[in-house]
Amino acid sequence: MARPAAVPPPTVDAMSGMKPHHIARLASAGAVRLAPDGRLAAFTITSVDQRANRYRSRVWVADTAGGNPWPVSAGTERDEHPVWSPDGRQLAWVTKVASGDRIVSTMAVGAPGSAGQPARFDDEVEELAWSPDGRRLAVVVRDRDRDQYGPEGAPLPPDRMPPRRITTLLSRLNGEGFVSDRPAHVYLVDLEVPGEPVLVTPGPWEARNVAWSPQGTALAWSSGRHDGWDMDLCRDLWTVRVDGPIGVPERVTPTDASYFAPSWSPDGTRLAFLVVPTPMNEPRHGQVGVLVAAEGASSLRVLSSDLDRNAAPHEGPRPPAWLGDDLVFSAEDAGALRLWSVPSDGSAPPALWLGGDRRIVSWDVSGPAAQDAIVAFSAGDALHLPEFHVAPLSPGGAAAGGRLTPGAERRVTELTASLRAEATLVEPERFVATSADGTEVECWAMAPLDAGPGRHPTILNIHGGPFTQYGHVLFDEFQLQAAHGYGVVYCNPRGSSGYSEAWGRAVRWPEAGDDAGSGWGGVDADDVLACVEEAADRFEWVDADRLGIQGGSYGGYLTSWIIGHDDRFTAAVSERAVNNLLTMESDSDIAGFFAAYVGHDHLQRPELFARHSPITHVSDMTTPVLIVHSENDLRCPMSQAEELFVALKLLGRHPELVRFPEETHELSRSGSPAHRVMRAELILEWFDRYLR
């Protein structure tokens, strides 16, 4: 169903493992939205067009009672952000076309009706929300400064643009370029009376997570609009009347944290939300909270603290969903991304609602008032790409207090089938390693595919973040290595998300004050080394004399750090790495953020940043290292790779630097398909050179 017709099937042995060209077979379901009555669900499928060297996404609709889904958008470009009209008869979505414009489209679904394109924008559309009366769409779109970029339809060429005047941090973002002169704003599009969209949130401030009140009289959104928002990273929830002339925005939170992802209660009196308590004292668990809209900060209550898991996952969390008087939300848990529920009055702690060893990457619920109470979701695990599922909701037993709980699941899509028809996938095995101080660390291992008896070269992989997690996901990197004859080992060291908040904060700097830890390169390095040591003792296929190490972003940092402190690895790949924390505090698109771990800024205490920087220990690096970096990486700028490469060359070592043009920090995940294949091939070739 979802296999791109433009991709010819490669001629390979169906029983072999995954090869770099199989990246063209990676398709995933996402962006799930249920119709109000629960009978239909919309979701997107993103796939690779190998010939065009690009990704395409399409909106599909499924009958939640059964049957095959059908496409409602063309899928020739990137169709995203599906939303249902309040009567469930129409869908709206956004298409990013070849010109770079974004078109908002509407179409009748399952009943006679018309199709239309009520709005077109020349910059990124990030969200759609349909008004309860069906007359308007709220659209979150990047709003260009016309003096800087030129009028719509006649953009200025770069050599005619005026110079940019920068007054805030966070003036640019990886993958998006400059954003200070094109902030995200909320507009209203009238679906009945054609005309120009109406701006709701003027000014230089970013506005996101727009939500309609059930009566359609007000909007809520998240924005930092105070002096110093770019320094403290706090965001507030705001509301505004839109049932007449646009009103004056009202702040409903106390500007002491990062509040976002608002969700109105069915009666319109309360707002649920997510909150990160101390944005510049990281890492912290995202929490679920609720407040009375008319009372604001005085009524604020946090509901999820007893769970001690991160409810603001790295994938980009959706707002908490109201299910009667309960709230459903996602949280990371030991390599999984699961759904939890909690009473909105705080009368009980959060309870697991939809679990499993998998990652539920997008989801939606239709509640008790729906004709068909349903949960629909996209989820994948170690052997499956994200697939679309549905499950009925019914009142649970005494343990659930009679509240709605999910029943038997039905998997609707088979997006992994084309990959599994051509490649045998390796299932990870979980194990536990004991670190140097006695701490137990959750780890996984994948034996080399069809490698036969004896010991085999093995690669230790380290995730980015550090406040992210490895776990229950089909990760092409690991499958490629295992299919190529390498053992694969990976873990969630201290500093990772998915465990207690104390686990994540264990890598704060010793000088950080509250919750002081080891700093980066401390217990986290001990944990990943304990993982590979335990694997060598536990699995007969691990060759401890032929070990590789690889990581990207923070994982690249720890790779560079470890080869400057440990010589057990025969070869290393340090990718999009942080190699100099001191310069990162000035050059990164999140400049200033690293002080959130250090507890001091780099101007007053530069030695704290230098002490934990791999570049400080470069003279001790003797492991052959391949340095992979993208030239348009704004998160870890290209200079981070150049510093390491130049230093090693001057020391008489033999590093190699590979630069990918036109790519960003996201090369390995969403870079051009051709570059992703090239990257995979060159990394395998590097390890072949030293580990075979």
Q: In which element (H, E) is residue 329 found?
A: strand 326-333
Cα–Cα distance, 472 to 335 (Å, whole number): 6
Span 591-627, pLDDT tens digits: 999 999 999 999 999 999 999 999 999 999 999 999 9
461 conformational bin, left if phi > 0, alpha if psi -120 to 50, beta if neither:
beta
- The pLDDT of residue 419 is 96
Cα–Cα distance, 278 to 250 (Å, whole number): 22
Nearest C-alpha neighbor of 212 from the set 241, 255, 183: 241
Cα–Cα distance, 641 to 578 (Å, whole number): 8
Cα–Cα distance, 8 to 158 (Å, whole number): 39
- The pLDDT of residue 470 is 98
* Segment 291-294 long-range contacts (CB within 8 Å, at least 24 positions apart): 291/252, 291/253, 293/220, 293/239, 293/252, 293/264, 293/268, 293/269, 294/269
Angle, vertex CA 353, rays to CA 350 and CA 357, nearest 5: 110
673 preceded by a cis bond (ω within 30 of 0): no
Domains of the chain: 202-357 (2.120.10.30), 426-691 (3.40.50.1820)
- Find tokens 């089938």 and name the residue: 417
Q: Percent of the chain at pLDDT above 90? A: 92
**CB-based contacts of 650, cutoff 8 Å, min separation 6:** none
Give the pLDDT mean for 344-366: 97
- The pLDDT of residue 401 is 63
Cα–Cα distance, 393 to 658 (Å, whole number): 51
Strands 250-251 and 236-241: antiparallel
Cα–Cα distance, 42 to 565 (Å, whole number): 51
Span 87-102, pLDDT tens digits: 999 999 999 998 889 9
Confidence of residue 387 (pLDDT cuts 50, 70, 90): very high
Q: In this structure, what are the phi and psi dihedrals at residue 308, rounded to the nearest 5 degrees? A: 55, 45
401 conformational bin, left if phi > 0, alpha if psi -120 to 50, beta if neither:
left
Cα–Cα distance, 673 to 28 (Å, whole number): 15
The tokens for 306 are: 């007893």
Span 548-564, pLDDT tens digits: 999 999 999 999 999 99
Half-sphere exposure of 75 (CA within 13 A, CB side): 20
Asked whether the predicted pLDDT for residue 3 surpasses 90, the reply is no
DSSP 470-498: --SS--HHHHHHHHTT-EEEEE--TT-SS
The average confidence (pLDDT) of the chain is: 95
Asked whether the predicted pLDDT for residue 492 surpasses 50, the reply is yes
Q: Which H, E and C letters describe 76-110, residue by residue? A: CCEEEEEEECCCCCEEEEEEECCCCCEEEEEEECC
Cα–Cα distance, 338 to 349 (Å, whole number): 16
Asked whether the predicted pLDDT for residue 396 surpasses 80, the reply is no
Identity of residue 517? G
Cα–Cα distance, 664 to 535 (Å, whole number): 33
Angle, vertex CA 379, rays to CA 83 and CA 485, nearest 5: 140
Between helix 673-691 and helix 476-483 the angle, nearest 10°, is 40
Nearest C-alpha neighbor of 93 from the set 110, 111, 113, 72: 72
Cα–Cα distance, 32 to 48 (Å, whole number): 20
Helix, strand, or coil here: 20? helix
Cα–Cα distance, 180 to 359 (Å, whole number): 34
44 forms beta bridges with 30, 59
**CB-based contacts of 572, cutoff 8 Å, min separation 6:** 548, 549, 550, 559, 560, 563, 623, 624, 625, 626
Cα–Cα distance, 521 to 561 (Å, whole number): 6
Cα–Cα distance, 348 to 344 (Å, whole number): 9
Span 179-191, pLDDT tens digits: 999 999 999 999 9
Angle, vertex CA 527, rays to CA 523 and CA 528, nearest 5: 125
Task: Indicate the burial class of 5 (C-beta count within 10 angstroms; 0-12, 13-18, 19 or more).
Answer: exposed
386 preceded by a cis bond (ω within 30 of 0): no
- The pLDDT of residue 112 is 67
Is residue 329 within 8 Å of 377, Cβ to Cβ?
A: no
Confidence of residue 194 (pLDDT cuts 50, 70, 90): confident
